[in-house]
Chains A and B, each alone.
Chain A
Amino acid sequence: MRPSTLARLRAAAACAGFVALCAYPIAVTNPYYARIGGLVLLSAISASAWNIVGGYAGQVSIGHSMFFGLGAYLPLVLYSNWQLPPTLGVPMGILLAVFLAVLVGFPAFRLQGHYFSMATIAVAELIRLLVSNWDLFGAAIGVRGPAVSRTVWDFAFRSVVPYYYLFLAGLAAVLGTTRLIERSRMGYYLRAIKSGEGAARSLGVPSRRYKLYALMVSAAFASLAGSFYALWIGFADTSSTLGILVSVEMVIVTALGGAGTLYGPLIGALILIPLQNFSNVLFGAGGTGLTFLMYGGIIVIISRFEPGGLVHLWQHRLRPLIRSA
């Protein structure tokens, strides 16, 4: 197949994908499937956020639940304690997440590789334990949002459709930001740091500062994803927003699609989230823990056969195959 034909096919596929994403909640009226659409977008946002620091800069955080959880808790804490509109918590969550990123990143980025990952797990677990014992944050019970919208600022709807489009806008924002970073000095610096920090520093890359920038941007969008989750579900507790599984999901989704690629996290979410939900339905309560099993399986398969994820598989194995056909 000629490269130009392939490029046209690719453009057509991108257009079709975009239209499908936009039309999905209108075309699919079944609430179960509509809900899966919302979950896919949420996962795509948080995984894309993780991708900035974990994929591009290669700093594998397994503690991103701390940012997601912060974003999820803040709107609901504001509502349940002081009856403030939850949407007020969204920008506050982002600001606090960026602040937390600096606080955690500053010492943690002195560590390399697995040690950095372990440090992020430790901080995230610490925060989870703190929140689960703190009455202001609903302690072990969790916090709720408004059941019905008092004003538009409560952003509480019965239908998934308004949320879906809000999430779509959020996804566009994180992907747009990633694209900007990718094409700028920061993108080159992050990829250089991932490939060899010592060499990057010898070329004048202030690596700790750039890793911190990446974590700050990443934390902001992870917090946004958490806030979106809270606005939609209207409830947050420690296991659903601060548990380690929240962090691990971001890693797995990104790794499956392709870490360090723009659309990798979206592709990963499109595959993994429906799979997760169907397996839940199929196996019901007896299948609790099946998610872990699936994550484990995916880790093994990706790291053994295609560490670059599906995007890499397409670029390096399948596309050459089609080209030669």
Chain B
Amino acid sequence: MLLRAEGISMNFGGFTAVAGASLEIEPGEIVGIIGPNGAGKSTFFGCLVGDLKATAGQVRFLDHEVTHRSPEHHARLGMARTFQVPQTFEDLTVLENVMVGALLRHPRAAEARRFAQGLLEFAGLAGAAANKAGSLGTPGRKRLEIARALATEPKLLLLDEALAGLTPTEIHTAIELVRAIHARGIALVIIEHIMEVIVTLAQRVIVFNQGKIIAGGLPGNVMRDEQVVAAYLGSHGRRARVPFDA
């Protein structure tokens, strides 16, 4: 077992954003998290990566209790993540961005640089290595975030809407990148609004609504679940309008 989150709840004041959500991830798995806006996906994600300290429940990663540990502790153990709104280091070059990640396991700058260069090739960013990260467009930034996260040599990579805001062609190349990451033996958790992505990539999907996990299983089956359809379209939506042709 790579990750085991049990009964995670997160309250902000009186508001319960996540209520008793559980998730288990095996090594090498790709798990999709979907749900309408405000369903609690990102809050749950925050609890998994250490940004938020869950008010109840427990997160274990590689048999370490990490519920209340810092994000940097998660990274050291082998959990990496990207941000919904890319947070690349704008004043650093593309190569230096990846080096910051690589320095975690390669403390010497020269080694980290070599390792980072390899990852830039992998992510298709080698041509922009010497440019400032601030000069990249959205697709480039998202790729850079992925390359930077991979540089920490994670066992589990969590992508928070890594493909949102991309054109169909860009999404296609990004899907190829995610597949290549998976081929390296890295497990992935993908939060995504774009159904096409989840259906093509995820082996298993969990669906959030109003802070609770309402369904889980194979993407095809989940998309036909009554509750899921109701959560997305309202319970009076006609069956003929089911948008997920999985």
How many residues of A are in contact with the other chain, CB < 8 A?
20
Contacts of A201 in B (CB 8 A): 70-72, 75
> Provided the pairs A202-B49, A204-B104, A204-B152 are in contact, do residues A192 and B89 lie with their beta carbons within 8 angstroms?
yes
Interface digits, B91-112 against A, CB 8 Å rule (1 contact, 0 not)?
1100010011101100111001
Query: How big is chain B's contact interface, by range?
Result: 20 to 34
What number of residue pairs across chains A and B have CB atoms under 8 A from each other? 75
| A298 adjacent to chain B (CB < 8 Å) | no
Shortest beta-carbon distance, A175 to chain B, in Å?
A: 19
Q: Which of A192, A203, A205, A206 contacts B149 (CB 8 A)?
A: A203
**Which residue in chain B gives the minimum CB-CB distance to A184?**
B109
Evaluate contact between B152 and A196: CB separation under 8 angstroms: no
Residue A304 lies at the interface, judged by CB distance under 8 Å to chain B:
no
A195→B92 contact, CB < 8 A: yes
Asked if B107 and A185 make an inter-chain contact with CB atoms under 8 angstroms apart, the answer reads: yes
Least Cβ–Cβ distance between B117 and chain A, in angstroms: 15
Smallest beta-carbon distance B154→chain A, Å = 10
Q: Is A198's CB under 8 angstroms from B109's CB? A: no
Q: What's the dominant secondary structure at chain A's contact region?
A: helix
B100 x A200 contact (CB < 8 A): yes
User: 1/0 per residue A257-284: CB within 8 Å of B?
Assistant: 0000000000000000000000000000
- Name the residue of chain B whose CB is nearest to the CB of A206: B72
CB proximity of B151 to chain A, nearest CB, Å: 8
Chain A residue at smallest Cβ distance from B107: A185
| A8 contacts partner chain B, Cβ-Cβ < 8 Å | no
Q: List 7 A-B contacts (CB under 8 A).
A: A189-B100, A199-B89, A201-B71, A202-B71, A203-B149, A204-B72, A207-B72
Binding site for A on B (CB under 8 A): 49, 51, 70-72, 74-76, 80-81, 83, 87-92, 96, 99-101, 103-104, 107-109, 112, 148-149, 151-152
Which residues of A does B touch, CB under 8 Å?
183-185, 188-189, 191-192, 194-196, 198-207
